[in-house]
Structure 1
C-alpha cells in the first residue's frame, strides 16, 4: 500500500468510524501514531511474529515498570528537552542553567531543610567519600532568589535509589532545601556512583539487541523552583566518571559538569568536623522568569510518593 492509501485507511478506522463525541487532541495523536506505525509495518515488511513479539515486549516492560527507563534509553526524554530548549529560544529565554532529563526515580515528599541538609543516613560513611555541594540560586536579572526550593536526589554506592531499593532508609539521599536569605543552599552527602539498567530487565534486553550499554555516569538530580520563575529540571554529572560523555540516557550536557575539588588540608577537614579528606562542588543555578511565551515547565506525570 502507498502511504496515502494507509492514511485514508487509518482515518476510516480512527476518525470516520466515530459515532460519539471524541477528544480532538487524542484523536489527532492516535491517528498520526497509528498511521506512522502502519507505514513502518509496510515499509519494513514487519511480519506478524515480529509485531506480536513487540507487543509482548511492551507488556513486559510495563509490568516491570521499566517504560520510564526505556524512554530515556531510546532518547525520547532527551528529545523532549531539545524541543523545550527550542521553545525557550523562540521565546527569547537565555542564560538559564541547562535543563536535562528527570528520569523515573524521583519521590515526592522528601524532608524539608532550611539552607543546609545532610542527605545520607550514615550507613555508607565508612566506604564513601564525603561530598559537600553548595551554591546560589539566581534569577535572570542576576539577583539571588531567597527561599528558592532545591529538591535533590541521587543514588547510593551501589547505584540504587531509596524507596525503589527497600534496603535503604526512607528518603535516604533525598531532601528539599529552602535557600537562605542570600539564595544559598548547601548539602552534605556521599559521592554517588553511576548505575546501569537492571541487567535482566526489559530495557537492557532491547539495548543488547541494539548493541548498546545501559550505563549512566554518577550524577545528582535537581528540581529548582521559586515563585515567579520557571521550574528547572536538571542534574549535574560527577567529573571524571567513565561514562561522563557516554550516558545511555543522553542526559550529559555542557554546563552541567562542575569542577570537583578534593580537599586534603587538615584545617579544612577539621573545620568540617571530619577525620578524612572530602570533596566539594560549587554550583549556581540560574532560573528564567515565568513567561506565557514558552510552554510550561511543570510536567504532569505520575511520580512515586512515600
Structure 2
C-alpha cells in the first residue's frame, strides 16, 4: 500500500513538470544535417520534433537551456502565440484590391490607427474634386494650364490621387495605400496630354511652398543631358534641394526607354498580380476596374470619363 501511494505521488509530481514545458523553435546551422539535428533534439528532450520550414524545427522542452548543447543548433526561440487579426477596411471594394494584400498594407494594426498626416502633391491631369472618396482628402489645388484643377477629363490624376489617399474605412469605394495622406493637386497636363517643363517646374515650387513632403509625378520623358533644362534650373535641383524637405516619385516611360528627366530620389514601377512589371499607364464619382495588361487594378474615375 505504501509503495502504491509513493508511486502515485511520483506521477503527480511528473504531471506539472510536463505541463510547464513550452514549445521552442530551433534554428539549424548552415551546412548541418537537419535529420541529425532533429535526432539530437529528440534525444535531449524525449519529445517528438516537428519540421518548420527548411532551416528550423520545433519541440517541447522545459527551458531553452535544455537545448543549448545540441550540436548543429544556431539559435533557440520560445514560440509564443503572438499573431493576431489585422485590420481590414470596410470599403466595399477592398477585397478586389489585390495589391493591398500583396504589400500587407494594413497588417501592422488591429484597427485603423490615428497617424500624423503627410502632405502629398500630385502633379497630374487634375482631379474630380467632388468625388466622395477624395473630397475630404484635398487641402489645396492649383492649375498651371488653362483648365481648372478641379476637373479631370483625362482621368489619370483622379486615379493616382485615389490610390494614394482615397478616404479609407469610410464604407464607400476603395482603400488607399497612404491613408494618412492629405492631397495637394497641381494640374499640369494640357488638353492634348502634354506637359510643359515650365508648368512642371512652377507646380513643384508651389507644392514645396505649401508643405508637400512627397511629390508624385506619374510621367516622364527623355532629353539630351548636354542641354540645360529650364525646369531643373527653376526648381533649383542643379544647386541643391529646396529649403523644405520633399521626396519626388516618378515612373519610367511606358516604352521602357531610359528616364533622363526627372531624376527623382525615389522611382516607382508597377507590377501585375503575377508579379511581372507592366508599363501601360492606368486610366481609371464612380469606382471602376482599370485593366493594366491582364491584371485588374481598381481606381477612382471622374464623372463623365469612361473607363479605359
On whether the aligned pair clears a TM of 0.5, the verdict is: no
Q: Pick the structure with greater CA Rg.
A: 2
Pick 1 or 2: higher relative contact order, CA cutoff 8 A, min separation 6. Answer: 1
Shorter-chain TM band? under 0.3
